[in-house]
Amino acid sequence: MSRVNGARRDGATGSPTLDEVARVAGVSRATASRAINGGQRVSPRAQSSVDAAVRTLGYVPNPAARSLVTRRTDSIAVVVPEPDDRVFSDPFFAGTLRGVTRVLSDRDIQLVLLLARPGASTARTLRYLTNRHVDGALVVSHHRDDGLAEALSRIDLPCVFGGRPWSAGDRVAYVDVDNTAGERIATEVLVERGCRRIGTIAGPGDMTAAADRLDGWRQAMAAAGMADDAVVHGDFTEAGGQRAAEELMATHPDLDGIVVASDLMALGALRVLAALGRRVPDDVAVIGFDDTGVAERTTPPLTTVRQPVEEMAERATRLLLEQVDGHTGSHAMRVIIPPLLVRRDSA
């Protein structure tokens, strides 16, 4: 009953059925189902017979049946609690998706992108995850009030965060760069350069990356005996950096150094400094954070702290797949990557 040019030799019409596979293989229907869909309790001989019958008949397994046997959807979600325009304009997210898909390319696993904007969208995303439409979730750009860390730990869905979560840190795995050390190093560079008045454009106060980077700046300022009052918060976007820089320079016109919590915000800050006639780095030295491609194209090229986004996404995805496959212990894994200063012309 093999197929020639899409037709079965036995003269029957339609797609081959599981019953036919079982009959050709000489096994029960239940055994054929377990062998095809990855279940257990199948002898090597029966597995071989079923595999041969599948090839002979050209049988295509039913994904729903496979899911019932394995309790797997063969998909994982990348959850981004951010507005659409930011996701598609910030190179951080493109780098994250490249890292995830690079790992998934070796596995027959579908990537599902969930944009969980605040409000109804977040609630809908949580319902989707709670109903186990995916085998696990990778959360990036986490905010304090989105409730994702607590919800995912409560429903026991395999998950990994790209960045330290605000809460449930003892129950949720995450991969992060050492943001505090990175911003401390950046500030120390300006201190060593001889800057006497150093301000910062910090990120959103409801994100751990921003909080940790601000803490690193404050640590370095305290060690240098400098005042740490020149702080304005942005939103990790170019426009937000521009608005923050305008406020910062209006309030503290004597600044000769600025540490910026992201390269996109630093790009906005450089535009403001140019409009004010302040030369970089002669009048004001500037350092960013990320090194995801923007820093090489600014004028002047931006000194920055490298956050290896693609490497972090790859490691987070591997951690998630280990959870999905049941290869992890009871303790949440935490991977902290050391920061690297990349020197260019802006400092």
Domain that holds residue 242: 179-307
57: domain CATH number is: 1.10.260.40
Q: For 35-82, how does the pLDDT look when each residue is reduced to its tens digit (9 = 90+)?
A: 877 666 788 888 889 889 988 988 877 655 555 444 678 899 999 988
Would residue 345 count as lying in a domain?
A: no
205 in the same domain as 104: no
Q: For 157-183, how does the pLDDT look when each residue is reduced to its tens digit (9 = 90+)?
A: 899 999 999 876 677 899 999 999 999
The predicted model gives 19-37 an average pLDDT of 87
**According to the model, what pLDDT value does residue 178 have?**
97
299: domain CATH number is: 3.40.50.2300
Q: Mind giving me the DSSP string for 269-296?
A: HHHHHHHTT--TTTT-EEEEEE-SSSGG
135 in the same domain as 20: no
103 in the same domain as 22: no
Please identify, among 70, 99, 129, the residue that sits at the C-terminal boundary of a domain: 70
162 in the same domain as 127: yes
CA atoms within 13 Å, Cβ hemisphere of 163 = 28
Higher pLDDT, 241 or 86: 241
Amino acid at 92: F
88 in the same domain as 56: no
166 in the same domain as 92: yes
Neighbours of 88 (CB within 10 A): 11
214 in the same domain as 204: yes
Report CA torsion sign: 55, 56, 60, 65: negative
Q: Mind giving me the DSSP string for 112-176?
A: EEEE--TTHHHHHHHHHHHTTSSS-EEEES--TTS-HHHHHHHHT--EEEES--SS-TTTSEEEE
100 in the same domain as 65: no
**According to the model, what pLDDT value does residue 125 have?**
87
Q: For 171-222, how does the pLDDT look when each residue is reduced to its tens digit (9 = 90+)?
A: 789 999 999 999 999 999 999 999 999 999 999 999 999 999 999 999 999 9
**Least confident range of 109-113, 162-166, 328-332:** 328-332
